Structure 1
């Protein structure tokens, strides 16, 4: 039974598999729940079982079991918010977690803390939505000078919005960090909560994951109490994650429940939590994710190693070149190259960021080769033209892949190839411009592409009130009879959408055909090959950028050929 604390490992796993099998009764063929209220009891039982089993687990597995228990119990509460038993189970779980973690404040209210964070998030989302509504679309019937002025306003507005979101998001995570420190007691050493991903790029959304690491002060690894120091921050991270899970915006698949995969037969679709509105959460526990302090705690047959992202600076830096850790479904070295300080000791963060900067600016052949390898992979995986052509037959599209990454990935690559480590795409462009690698006109066009991509992603998320990247419909009945094209155009306006793809198409085309990317530092080359703009700017005339017919057909719902 779920309430027994003496269930043998094989027995409790069988019980979990049995519950996961029962869940299938309440699922559609696509893996989504028919009636979430009915599946809630299964999640509740599984959550209690994970909590109970954690008492028998070793130190590492115990933490995973408790995180999974938190997610499952919250899933039950969100599906039956009036169920007092479910709410009491979640409250009891939070209390027991503090005892297990050896917290100093055992009566801390993790649910109340989460509610305060949720209120902060709601204010951030309201502010973002209001700011987005004030941005006007750019029509066709304007002069070139008027068009450029409107584009400049859009760039400035999006920069401001992204900066506001970034600041609000950091403040939320600072608040949670301070609460965790209070709960666990004074930290045994100096440390830095360091953000990664879109937060470090100043391109985060009000519904984004919190990707982060914990940097420890140097020298602690030589002391006798180092194991206790690590345990403090591991439990710090578990409590932090539990507070975030208590926001009830964490989808169940992100905690990687093994039994959901073990009962799935070939050809069957796995359970997908379509009920939970995906919002602020931590990076998932799936083997291809784990960009969080606890890191990758479970080995797989294909990748038999673990990673932990709670380390002193010098040990964290080893991940930049560690062969077995270069790829977990992502490159650890890549995510560690772009970080930001969130909370804690500023000097520790500065020491780490300066060391990373030295690696970035070094002439190590291996580092440069990896950059070029990643660039070539991205040019294949995020090929703007191929993605747009697929829209002719697909009924849905992923705007993060189609719009956001088709520009930002390659601007990041330009920055790294020129030893520029500024976080945001806008900052990279500005630095390229300041270093005379690109001219003002090229910088404007690249910045405009980034502004459009950020605007699309923000507006789609805000409209859905979730980190849902898809626009379109489940099924396409007639050619050009879906909402993908209309949704994309309605989001930012027809002209902006066309301009965006014209810019990224030519940018990618240049990167794909240039043999020696290490020499990507010539203004004339960028102007001539990327944007087809004459290098002679004496007449100051801004030429229109042509766009391939295939892109036009993919963007527009109607079948007529259009150019910018």
Structure 2
């Protein structure tokens, strides 16, 4: 232990450890967490009172107070000191700003007290209500999308394009003006700027894709490089105002005692599952930090600041600078919009960027762009086995956005929004009008889905259920297996609440299957083209394929309806051979007999599954293990659904034995099926054994948290039926915490864990704990969670 440590730092670290421990307690107490966060804020306020010159101390105090306030508001039982702490927080936030003016700005005459600005919070919420009306209108347009095997509807695509652009234009205008007003207030506090400057928006705002739930990325252009201190003062005062909107989860601050992103081995790795994620600044992590202070040095990257002259900023937009600093810095810097400040300075910046980028070696830039495209294909690969919950930003939005930006960099285009880039690609005959129509479709769907998700959850929370097939299977199985729960039956049916105060963490089901199928047809084709080298000549890329193989693949990924036609394997192969795939040399390693069987199974047509299986039965011994494992799975599914349970379970075991080690997702699916069927048969000892086997499986710990909780639910349900309440209570608190983190404390999943804990405590005669859980369930009922 360092004996020279600042006493306040030691106190803060002790509070941080207590906070992280309290999150893991069986009976989590939001009021207690709020009080700890208030006391942590007080340690920073004490530093501010002691005339600290560290600007971070002031914003850290404000962030901690705002996080504390949210928890006190969410507290189930209000203690005797609840109101006192609430008032203390409000007063402290105002006091912090006054101290900032006195200690950082020198107590000049421009200082005025602001504190929590309810008027700006109301303005933000009012705009979000208007946005939801527009997104509902967009959903109505989506309903016109044809089936992927039918003819395209250009008029529908045009309407979707126009409405999506209009919504994004309105969003960007609002966020830009909202940010400019806050910055203008900060300038009025910090005093006249010492030289001309411009607040420049980056990221989604610069691309014209901003939402009122998005992070704000920005930099300061300055006429002179001699006044960084003033502009740092200005930035941190601006951040105080943004923090007082109450929509910045604590990890975004990078407070060292909670989340030390520069020394992750020592970090407490605090997770904030209470503060809503809304309008906030880009996170203070080395891979983010697209704000004027930039980031500190890391082991691999030098420090970076985003305050400087147009010349300095233009140098950061080069491919060479991108290699040095990473994190796609060049693309981010070169895609910019003026938010506030001197317009001529911004025009000078744009001109210098254009000159700098035109001076680069075209072949070098081309090579970098093609490398990025190939990397993105691997990162966002279409995986048929992966039907888990998805991240609407990473899994759907990111690929079309980065592909269009790579096309911009590849051809040195001087435009910023995806729609402008596509129009310019067409104008310069770099892509055909048909290719451009497919890019419009992809980016409009990706942006629309992101908007729908944020508006539904009332925050920037991206988890969705992308597969209706998965949703329906889970709904049927879980309802049958765990009779006491409504899990998956009511939950996940999204309803866009007009009230912006209610936030969701639950995964929501995206029901626009035809739209997503058409999106994935384009996704498949573009990634195939890139992987086979066609991106070197973009005009040759096929961006949309309606062969029968592709159509069935995207339907398995999304939804197979009762009226969908399932093609014979021979038909699928013939269709592929007549398509562009063969000419391009793209041969997918897919078992089309198995694909057709899977489609029939999802449709509930077991007779057709049986017919296709018999066609393959004689080939089993000569099959490679990959195909054999899938054939055995198909046979198991058929037998299980026809009532031949013993044979089906034996075939699952056989499939597990031949499953390749490089297919962890498939292995997991086999184990999950075994777990579910033992549960369905009420063979609870086998469920427990199966769970133990799954935990030994190396890839189990790498599963997404969402999937591990599903496994844990089957396990604890088995323990309850076996009346092994003590063992169940070893696992249920963790499951409760995971569900709170993933879906929130108003979710059906969370409620199920409380009901299960109530059963255990009652059976074990633990009266005190029983009463606590009973009170928690009563509060949920009062909140309308039945």
Report the TM range for the smaller structure's normalisation. 0.7 to 0.9
Please report the RMSD computed on the Cα atoms of aligned residues, expressed in angstroms: 3.4
Match of 1:481, SS?
helix
1:411-454, Cα deviation, whole Å (9 max, x unpaired)? 21122212223211111111111122222222222111111111
Distance in 2 (CA, whole Å) between partners of 1:433 and 1:516 is: 16
1:236 to 231, 234, 237: 234
Deviation, structure 1 residue 104: 3.9
The answer as to 2:315 corresponding to 1:318 is yes
Could you tell which deviates more after superposition, 479-488 or 18-27?
A: 479-488
The answer as to 2:58 corresponding to 1:39 is no
Distance 1:28 1:371, change over 3 A: same
Residue 294 of structure 1 corresponds to: 293
Distance 1:410 1:478, change over 3 A: closer
Contact residue 111 and residue 190 of structure 2 kept, 8 A: no
1:425-504 aligned within 5 A: 425-472=418-465, 480-481=473-474, 491=510, 493-504=512-523
Contact residue 255 and residue 285 of structure 1 kept, 8 A: yes
Deviation, structure 1 residue 9: 3.9
Contact residue 256 and residue 267 of structure 2 kept, 8 A: no
Distance 1:545 1:99, change over 3 A: farther
Contact residue 259 and residue 267 of structure 2 kept, 8 A: no
Distance in 2 (CA, whole Å) between partners of 1:28 and 1:432 is: 53
Distance in 2 (CA, whole Å) between partners of 1:313 and 1:268 is: 37
Residue 144 of structure 2 corresponds to: 138
The answer as to 2:540 corresponding to 1:530 is no
1:264-279 aligned within 5 A: 270-279=269-278
Deviation, structure 1 residue 152: 1.4
Match of 2:350, SS?
helix
Deviation, structure 1 residue 486: 8.0
Contact residue 438 and residue 543 of structure 2 kept, 8 A: no
Contact residue 260 and residue 269 of structure 2 kept, 8 A: no
Distance in 2 (CA, whole Å) between partners of 1:315 and 1:206 is: 30
The answer as to 2:156 corresponding to 1:160 is no
Residue 372 of structure 1 corresponds to: 370
Residue 28 of structure 1 corresponds to: 24
Distance 1:194 1:125, change over 3 A: same
Contact residue 54 and residue 63 of structure 1 kept, 8 A: no
The answer as to 2:420 corresponding to 1:424 is no
Match of 1:110, SS?
coil
Contact residue 307 and residue 325 of structure 1 kept, 8 A: no
Distance in 1 (CA, whole Å) between partners of 2:50 and 2:403 is: 48
2:528 to 500, 509, 520: 509
Residue 538 of structure 1 corresponds to: none
Distance in 2 (CA, whole Å) between partners of 1:531 and 1:485 is: 31
The answer as to 2:184 corresponding to 1:185 is no
Distance in 2 (CA, whole Å) between partners of 1:159 and 1:145 is: 24
Deviation, structure 1 residue 477: 11
TM-score under structure 2 length normalisation? 0.61
Deviation, structure 1 residue 471: 1.7
Deviation, structure 1 residue 107: 4.9
Count of paired positions: 519
Residue 65 of structure 1 corresponds to: 57
1:398-420, Cα deviation, whole Å (9 max, x unpaired)? 11111111211112112221222
Distance in 1 (CA, whole Å) between partners of 2:149 and 2:599 is: 24
Structure 1 spans left out of the alignment, 5+ residues: 1-6, 533-542
Match of 1:134, SS?
helix
Residue 750 of structure 2 corresponds to: none
Structure 2 spans left out of the alignment, 5+ residues: 74-82, 476-487, 495-506, 562-597, 604-786
Match of 2:274, SS?
coil
1:365-390, Cα deviation, whole Å (9 max, x unpaired)? 4433332332222222122x13x542
Match of 1:320, SS?
coil
Distance in 1 (CA, whole Å) between partners of 2:248 and 2:70 is: 11
Match of 1:188, SS?
coil
1:259-293, Cα deviation, whole Å (9 max, x unpaired)? 12479998998321111110000011112211001
Distance in 2 (CA, whole Å) between partners of 1:379 and 1:267 is: 34
1:241-260 aligned within 5 A: 241-260=239-258
Deviation, structure 1 residue 478: 9.4
TM-score under structure 1 length normalisation? 0.83
Contact residue 254 and residue 284 of structure 2 kept, 8 A: yes
Distance in 2 (CA, whole Å) between partners of 1:72 and 1:327 is: 34
Distance in 2 (CA, whole Å) between partners of 1:269 and 1:12 is: 18
Contact residue 287 and residue 328 of structure 1 kept, 8 A: no
Distance in 2 (CA, whole Å) between partners of 1:424 and 1:89 is: 41
Residue 10 of structure 2 corresponds to: 14
Deviation, structure 1 residue 159: 0.7
1:338-385, Cα deviation, whole Å (9 max, x unpaired)? 1111111111111111222233444514433332332222222122x1
Distance in 1 (CA, whole Å) between partners of 2:390 and 2:131 is: 24
Deviation, structure 1 residue 466: 0.4
The answer as to 2:557 corresponding to 1:560 is no
Distance 1:509 1:54, change over 3 A: farther
1:390 to 371, 386, 390: 386
Deviation, structure 1 residue 210: 0.6
Distance in 2 (CA, whole Å) between partners of 1:142 and 1:251 is: 40
The answer as to 2:114 corresponding to 1:110 is yes
Distance in 2 (CA, whole Å) between partners of 1:445 and 1:309 is: 36
Distance in 1 (CA, whole Å) between partners of 2:96 and 2:63 is: 11
Match of 1:259, SS?
coil
Structure number with greater Rg is 2
Contact residue 287 and residue 329 of structure 1 kept, 8 A: no
1:170 to 164, 172, 176: 176
Contact residue 452 and residue 492 of structure 1 kept, 8 A: no
1:335 to 332, 337, 340: 332
Could you tell which deviates more after superposition, 354-363 or 131-140?
A: 354-363
Distance in 1 (CA, whole Å) between partners of 2:470 and 2:350 is: 52
The answer as to 2:280 corresponding to 1:281 is yes
Contact residue 288 and residue 328 of structure 1 kept, 8 A: no
Match of 1:306, SS?
coil
Distance 1:500 1:322, change over 3 A: closer
Could you tell which deviates more after superposition, 413-422 or 545-554?
A: 545-554
Match of 2:390, SS?
strand
Contact residue 319 and residue 326 of structure 1 kept, 8 A: no
Contact residue 215 and residue 282 of structure 2 kept, 8 A: yes
Distance in 2 (CA, whole Å) between partners of 1:265 and 1:362 is: 39
Match of 1:471, SS?
strand
1:122-142, Cα deviation, whole Å (9 max, x unpaired)? 222112111111121125489
Match of 1:182, SS?
helix
2:42 to 17, 37, 48: 48
Deviation, structure 1 residue 305: 3.0
